[in-house]
Homo-oligomer: A and B are copies of this chain.
Amino acid sequence: MQALRLADLAQTFELQLIGDAGLNIVGVCALLPGKPGHLSFCADARLRAGLAQTRAAAVVLAPRDAKTFSGNALVASDPAVAFARIAGLFDERAKFTAGRHPAASIAEDAQIGAGCWIGAGVVIEAAAVIGANSFIGPNCVIGRDTQIGAGSRLEASVYLASRCRLGARAQVQPGAVIGSRGFGLARAKEGWIEVPQLGAVVVGDDVEIGANTTIDRGALDDTVIENGVKLDNQIQIAHNCRIGAHTAIAACVGIAGSTQIGQRCLIGGAVGIGGHLKIGDDIVILGRAMVTKSLSVPGAYGSGLPVMPAREWRKLIGRVRRLPRTEQRLQAIEQALKIKLSDGDSEVEHDDF
């Protein structure tokens, strides 16, 4: 990687430069301790104290921090976004030579676009179409009649099933499985009958799919992942789900069949979402929440009992379990006092889970 001049970075990304325009930047680094010759960034009030101590050669920062910073800087309205774009220039993954490793197995009628690299151990089946400038890393499997958009990167050991579509600029991490059989079963007298899963998975443009994430194909219709969706590792998306554009989902989330998630949602880690639900646009679900009903009002949602010392937790669960008794005690007192604030001790049944 050759060095880039600070002035060139400022020009390319339309940022204001403060300090030494001729400074050579050889890489990017964290703010603390920072590395000589490298560019860092400060996007967060918590990190501001580090500006005085960093050993970085230059820092991308916000206008308000620029006033007091004495070092070399690029000023950006959104330093995190500007830094992400600059850092991309130093990402060596982006550079590869076109070609096919001799240990790849490519069907004769598969179409491989110009500028693609097909790695060792890759298997590409009949009539698959790979868009230009894509990188298919070692041991990936691309099924029959499947299409991948231009500029995509399947890092390694990705499985993409037959008849699926992956949009342009997809980023797929190792071990991801796209298009596995949906878990469709019918109960017959002699046991379970497998319901054939004849739909596909259709993925939009600019989608990221994390390591060991699984997306099942639809039963009759398709499972759909819209443009700009970002999926972390070890997510499970069941058959016939639809994930709306620009929604980001953290690791270990499970989404049951036929559920629809809206656009621009943020789903925290290890959230579980039941089947046949509808989650609206702009909904934030905090980590580990248990979603058993549809949500339509934008805003943040959560559930779960956070950790406490184990002895205290066990006693507390005992108290939760005797809430029926606690309510009875309360009612007895109310009756003795002839107080009637309560609506009584009716045993409410909830229909939302």
* Chain A residues within 8 Å of B, Cβ to Cβ: 27-30, 40, 78, 80-81, 83-85, 87-88, 90-91, 93, 101, 103, 105, 119-121, 123, 137-139, 141, 155-157, 159, 161-162, 171, 173-175, 177, 180-181, 183-188, 191-196, 198, 206, 208, 210-212, 214, 216, 219-221, 227-228, 230, 232-234, 236, 238, 245-246, 248, 250-252, 254, 256, 269-270, 272, 274, 284-293, 295, 297, 299-311, 313-330, 332-334, 336-337, 339, 341-343, 347-350, 352-353
Contact = CB atoms under 8 A, between A and B. Distances in A.
Contacts of A348: 315, 318, 322
A233 B236 contact: yes
Given A81-B188, A139-B157, A159-B211, 10 more contacts: A78-B188, A85-B193, A87-B195, A93-B162, A156-B159, A174-B180, A191-B206, A291-B307, A304-B305, A316-B320
B334 A305 contact: no
A90 B214 CA distance: 24
A193 B299 CA distance: 23
A334 B88 CA distance: 64
16 contacts: A80-B186, A120-B123, A171-B194, A177-B233, A185-B230, A192-B246, A251-B256, A286-B310, A299-B309, A300-B311, A301-B308, A301-B309, A302-B307, A302-B314, A308-B321, A319-B327
Nearest to A105: B120
Nearest to A190: B228
Q: Choose among A28, A187, A233, A284 the residue with the greatest number of B CB atoms under 10 Å from its CB.
A: A233
Contacts of A251: 183, 214, 236, 238, 254, 256
Contact of A173 (B177, B233, B288): B177
A22 to B, nearest CB: 24
Given A256-B269, A319-B323, A181 B186 contact: no
Given A300-B309, A318-B349, A353-B306, A214 B193 contact: no
Contacts of A342: 325, 329
Given A181-B173, A212-B214, A195 B84 contact: yes
Contact of A337 (B90, B212, B302, B336): B336
A79 to B, nearest CB: 9
A102 to B, nearest CB: 8
A53 to B, nearest CB: 16
A136 B130 CA distance: 24
Given A196-B84, A251-B238, A327-B326, A307 B315 contact: no
Contact of A139 (B90, B121, B321, B349): B121
A293 B315 contact: no
A28 B196 CA distance: 10
B325 A306 contact: no
A342 B29 CA distance: 53
A251 B93 CA distance: 31
A315 B228 contact: no
Contacts of A141: 121, 137-139, 156-157, 174
B350 A314 contact: yes
